[in-house]
Amino acid sequence: MRPSDFDQEELLLMLQDVLTSAASGRTENLRCPVCERGDLAVEEGDQGWIKLQCPQCGLQFEGLLGNSDDDYVAYAGRGKVQSPFG
């Protein structure tokens, strides 16, 4: 199956375990929950931003996982993000 076969809510539910692992700092050996074949490429940015991409099915996710700083300033490097799915 491809990411386009699911709506955003279904994709977020499928990614829940992967995002929990990434938020905990475990970004190695994460498998794609959509195709279950690809190892996710994880790119961590500043202030809790993360980008996940599957080379097999093309799943892309980009978003803010968390920030414990009380003085958080919006991440200026990305501009306005319409959808977390590329």
| pLDDT value of residue 79 | 57
| pLDDT value of residue 31 | 93
Cβ neighbours of 30 (radius 10 Å): 20
Q: Token pair 């692992």 is at which residue?
A: 21
Q: What is the pLDDT along the chain (86 residues), one digit of tens a residue?
A: 788 888 889 988 999 999 888 888 888 899 999 999 889 999 988 777 889 999 999 999 888 876 555 555 555 555 555 566 65
| pLDDT value of residue 77 | 55
**Which residue in 46, 42, 35, 47 sits closest to 19, CA to CA?**
42
Rounded to two decimals, what is the model's pTM? 0.66
| pLDDT value of residue 25 | 83
Whole-angstrom distance, CA of residue 20 vs CA of residue 52:
13
| pLDDT value of residue 8 | 87
Q: Do 22 and 41 form a contact (C-beta atoms < 8 A)?
A: no
| pLDDT value of residue 81 | 52
Whole-angstrom distance, CA of residue 40 vs CA of residue 29:
7
